[in-house]
Amino acid sequence: MAPAPSIPVTVLTGYLGAGKTTLLNRILSENHGRKYAVIVNEFGEIGIDNDLVVDADEEVFEMNNGCICCTVRGDLIRIIEGLMKRKGGFDAIIIETTGLADPAPVAQTFFVDEEVRARVNLDAIVTVVDCRYVLARLADSHEAEEQIAFADVILLNKTDLVTGEQLQEVRRRIQAINSQARLHETLNCVVPLQEVLERGAFDLDRILKIEPNFLSEDDHEHDDSVASVSLTSSVPLRPERFIPWLQQLTMERGQDILRLKGILAFPAEEQRYVVQGVHMLIQGTYQRDWKPDEPRTSRLVFIGRNLDAAALRQGFEACAVPVS
Amino acid sequence: MLGAMNLAMNLAMNPKADTLVNRCGRRVSVGAEPTALLWLGDILLATLGDGSVRRLSRGTDTALWMAHRGAILSACLHPDRSSIITGGDDGAVQRVTVDGQVEQLGHFGRRWVEHLIASPSSGLIAAAAGREVAIWAKGAAEPSHSYTVGSSVGGLAFDGKGKRLGVAHYNGATLYYASSATGGQVALNWVGSHLACAMSPDGRYFITALQETGLHGWRLPERHDMRMPGYVAKTRSFSWDRRGRWLATGGARSAVLWPFEGKTGPMGRAPLLLAESRHAVVSRVAFHPREDILAIGYDDGAVLLSRPADDGALDVDLTGAPIKALSWNAQGTRLAWGDEDGRIGILDLEARMPLPEARP
């Protein structure tokens, strides 16, 4: 039996007033020939009748699987199951979260529930940021920080309302939190849709490269408790050290690790090992052969809260001992 | 009828025997996932994911009526047993008669009507949308009263008399005397998200399926907890045998039957495992209403009849997509099943069954 094609899910996050609904309406009104099922929290702001719009209740609950930070959205599990009865009724799903939502339970829902995993795949988390207010939000809101930390794509919206200098400061702060997200400067969320939809950001096969952190070592200013830590090694990692280290780390520190992503070289292994995770949930696989001209550099990025960069680096480097 | 069934079971010993649907059944493609297959005598009404109700009776009759704008998410027989009730993602609860008259019984606005049950004994109907459970008194054309629980309803179940109602939700379940708007609430607490549920016909046990797989049960009225683990997928389907001695469940590679006779039910006892599949999970179970025969549907599209006494099995069909609905008519002369791709099969055990061809 051939597996049914998996339906991509895009999660839109962003603080109240940042422009999520503007982006959603742009996506829905563009002539792309695709039908979307849209799961919203604040119904009534969407002006498109063509697509299927579903109300969500944002019911977050803990899984009883021994993993303390493993929360999921029970309403999403139910809604996706119900939507699947309308086979062929839509091509993709967009989930709009409330401005105060922590993206983790949404993301984890797509890893934890087997039936959801079998039908749909989390494509990317897209966060819309209001350039004027984002720095103030980062100062007073946990959620604003998490929404940026979890993002695969960030729209720096309302760029016309800030000066060039202010925009640079916003970029710097956002990149210090999340060095891996793609940033787009927008007015009214105008962005080519292929930059937002069907990115495959959680697809291990599509982790192609990890952007080196643009910050130099001594440039770390700890404005935010959430930050990215990038680790690299040109010495191959020993899997018998690396895998247990990562498992132990995510078990002990999973609550603070929001996302992680890695491309790793193991000794005498022709294939790249890729890994990604959300909190304690990690997935890894051999992806493809290293190309002949590709440097076999291992890269691992953590985005998290109160990360101890020195300890992470030490643990990572201890996996990279040359085989004697 | 009994003769036909025994003949059918004996055919199982013949490895060359064809699946039973080819001998005394038929298949119909309806193009949408059936949420329920409901029998009114020997007429089958299929409620579908495209909002329609299809009537499948003898011959080529395939009448179609649109009951909902959107998908039908829940459906059951009306207590009068001459019509059905459907709940949709359009928020409506409809009564649909065998000749296609549609009458609205209630509306929940933009909320989805995800669960519907009815009791022929009490005449009560219960529907759940979000956190609200609405009750229709016997013969009522609109809801009589409603309850609100703390989180979205995961499942509903009545006892055999249709008086006690169990509502599964997050962190447990709540029992009500459904004819009363206020009285008789009992909280059953257990952490986790509780989904589909079942109540024993005598009202002494309430069982829920958990999000993390496995079942949780309460023995009543003491509220003793029972853990019933051992599943690989969420249990979506429960079926009591006609004497209330066994509860058959899906969610494992075998049909899992828990024993409920005796004072303590399944506590401390192992379940009976029937018709293990090497590569598929049981998605639906349905006990025959008059005999010790269990129909089992799997997520690879296999349907078979199983005899609990000796685990004998008879292949009925292999549709190729997960079985989503499975039901016997009240007399036990017809079995219907439907898969996710909209293939419906009907087995007619009154039909003459040709014997396998003799081989030279």
Are residues A109 and A101 in contact, defined by beta-carbon separation less than 8 angstroms?
no
Six-digit token pair at B355?
């014997």
The answer on pLDDT for A214 being more than 70 is no
Are residues A218 and A157 in contact, defined by beta-carbon separation less than 8 angstroms?
no
Number of separate helices (H) and strands (E) present in chain A: 9, 14
- How many domains does chain B fold into? 1
What is the residue whose two structure tokens read 């079985």?
Answer: B323
Q: How many residues in total does chain A contain?
A: 324
pTM metric for this prediction: 0.89
Instruction: Encode pLDDT of A90-116 as tens digits.
Output: 999 999 998 888 899 999 999 989 899
Distance, C-alpha A270 to centroid of its chain: 28
Q: Higher confidence at residue B291 or residue A32?
A: B291
Q: Average pLDDT, whole number, for chain A?
A: 88
Task: Kindly indicate the confidence band of residue A212, based on its pLDDT and cuts at 50, 70 and 90.
Answer: low
Which chain A residues have a beta carbon less than 8 Å from that of B212?
63-65
pLDDT the model gives residue B356: 43
Are residues A301 and A232 in contact, defined by beta-carbon separation less than 8 angstroms?
no
Instruction: Output the CA torsion sign for A264, A265, A266, A269.
Output: positive
- Say whether B170 and A85 touch across the interface (CB within 8 A): no
Question: Measured between alpha carbons, how far is residue B12 from residues B19, B20, B273, B301, B307 in Å?
Answer: 9, 10, 18, 18, 11
Q: How many residues in total does chain B contain?
A: 360
Task: Kindly indicate the confidence band of residue A2, based on its pLDDT and cuts at 50, 70 and 90.
Answer: very low
Which residue in A has a C-alpha nearest to residue B50's C-alpha?
Answer: A86
Instruction: Encode pLDDT of B14-39 as tens digits.
Output: 444 578 888 889 999 999 999 999 99
Q: What is the C-alpha separation between B244 and B143, in angstroms, rounded?
A: 30
Instruction: Encode pLDDT of B49-97 as tens digits.
Output: 999 999 998 777 779 999 999 999 999 999 999 999 999 999 999 999 9
When scoring A61, A68, A85 by the number of chain B Cβ atoms within 10 A, the one with the most, hence best to mutate, is: A85
- Say whether B49 and A78 touch across the interface (CB within 8 A): no
Q: What is the C-alpha separation between A72 and A115, in angstroms, rounded?
A: 14
- CATH numbers and ranges of domains, chain A: 7-202 (3.40.50.300), 210-318 (3.30.1220.10)
The answer on pLDDT for A237 being more than 80 is yes
Instruction: Encode pLDDT of B259-304 as tens digits.
Output: 998 888 898 899 999 999 989 999 999 999 999 999 999 999 999 9
Domain membership flag for residue B241 = yes
- Say whether B49 and A75 touch across the interface (CB within 8 A): no
Instruction: Encode pLDDT of B185-241 as tens digits.
Output: 999 999 999 999 999 999 999 999 999 999 999 999 999 999 999 999 999 999 999
CATH of the domain at B296: 2.130.10.10
DSSP per-residue codes, B244-275: SSEEEE-SSSSEEEEE--SSSTTTT-PPEEES
CA distance A64 to chain B (A): 6
pLDDT the model gives residue B304: 96
pLDDT the model gives residue B353: 53
The answer on pLDDT for B346 being more than 60 is yes
Q: What is the C-alpha separation between A172 and A17, in angstroms, rounded?
A: 22
CA distance B209 to chain A (A): 13
The answer on pLDDT for B355 being more than 80 is no
* Closest CB from A59, A61, A114 relative to B233: A114
* Domain membership of residue B290 as a residue range: 1-30+231-352
Which residue in A has a C-alpha nearest to residue B210's C-alpha?
Answer: A64
CB atoms within 10 A of CB B249: 27
Domain membership flag for residue B358 = no
Mean pLDDT along residues B36-44: 96
- Say whether A82 and B73 touch across the interface (CB within 8 A): yes
The H or E element containing residue A78 is helix A74-83
Q: What is the C-alpha separation between B136 and B108, in angstroms, rounded?
A: 14
B interface with A, Cβ–Cβ < 8 A, is: 32-33, 35, 49-50, 70-73, 89, 110-112, 114, 130, 151-152, 170, 191-193, 210-212, 233-234, 300-301, 320-321, 340-342
Q: Higher confidence at residue A235 or residue B184?
A: A235
Task: Kindly indicate the confidence band of residue A216, based on its pLDDT and cuts at 50, 70 and 90.
Answer: very low
Task: Kindly indicate the confidence band of residue A172, based on its pLDDT and cuts at 50, 70 and 90.
Answer: very high
Are residues B162 and B124 in contact, defined by beta-carbon separation less than 8 angstroms?
yes
The answer on pLDDT for B359 being more than 50 is no
* Closest CB from B110, B112, B342 relative to A82: B112
pLDDT the model gives residue A222: 53
Domain membership flag for residue B296 = yes
Instruction: Tell me phi and psi for residue B310, to 5 degrees.
Output: -135, 10
Task: Give the residue from A223, A61, A68 showing the smallest Cα distance to A139.
Answer: A223
pLDDT the model gives residue B12: 47
Are residues A270 and A161 in contact, defined by beta-carbon separation less than 8 angstroms?
no
Instruction: Encode pLDDT of B85-132 as tens digits.
Output: 999 999 999 999 999 999 999 999 999 999 999 999 999 999 999 999
Domain membership flag for residue B282 = yes
Domain membership flag for residue B326 = yes
Bridge partners, residue A72, by sequence: A61
pLDDT the model gives residue A43: 60
The answer on pLDDT for B357 being more than 60 is no
Task: Give the residue from A75, A71, A98 showing the smallest Cα distance to B153.
Answer: A75
**A65 CB near a chain B CB, below 8 Å?**
yes
**A268 CB near a chain B CB, below 8 Å?**
no
Domain membership flag for residue B317 = yes
Which chain B residues have a beta carbon less than 8 Å from that of A87?
32-33, 49, 340-342
Domain membership flag for residue B183 = no
* Closest CB from A43, A57, A86 relative to B152: A57
CA distance B351 to chain A (A): 31
Which residue in B has a C-alpha nearest to residue A51's C-alpha?
Answer: B70
Q: What is the C-alpha separation between B95 and A85, in angstroms, rounded?
A: 21
DSSP 8-state symbol, B202: T
pLDDT the model gives residue A209: 74
- Say whether B340 and A61 touch across the interface (CB within 8 A): no
* Closest CB from A1, A64, A115 relative to B212: A64
Top-confidence range, A117-121, A189-193, B309-313, B326-330: B326-330
CB atoms within 10 A of CB A163: 10
CA dihedral A9→A11→A12→A16, nearest 10 degrees, is 140
pLDDT the model gives residue B2: 44
Instruction: Output the CA torsion sign for A91, A59, A78, B40.
Output: negative
CA distance A54 to chain B (A): 8
CB atoms within 10 A of CB B221: 10
Q: What is the C-alpha separation between B128 and B134, in angstroms, rounded?
A: 6
Using a pLDDT cut of 70, give the percent of chain A over it: 89
The answer on pLDDT for A218 being more than 60 is no
**A43 CB near a chain B CB, below 8 Å?**
yes
Interface of A with B in 82-101 (CB under 8 A): 82, 84-87
Lowest mean per-residue pLDDT among A53-57, A131-135, A181-185, B232-236: A53-57
**A2 CB near a chain B CB, below 8 Å?**
no
Q: Higher confidence at residue A282 or residue A211?
A: A282
Task: Kindly indicate the confidence band of residue B7, based on its pLDDT and cuts at 50, 70 and 90.
Answer: very low
The answer on pLDDT for B321 being more than 90 is yes
Lowest mean per-residue pLDDT among A19-23, A215-219, B201-205: A215-219
The answer on pLDDT for B6 being more than 80 is no
Task: Kindly indicate the confidence band of residue A47, based on its pLDDT and cuts at 50, 70 and 90.
Answer: low
Establish how many alpha carbons lie within 13 A of residue A288's alpha carbon, considering only the half-sphere containing its beta carbon: 10
Are residues B119 and B79 in contact, defined by beta-carbon separation less than 8 angstroms?
yes
pLDDT the model gives residue A201: 87
CA distance A85 to chain B (A): 5
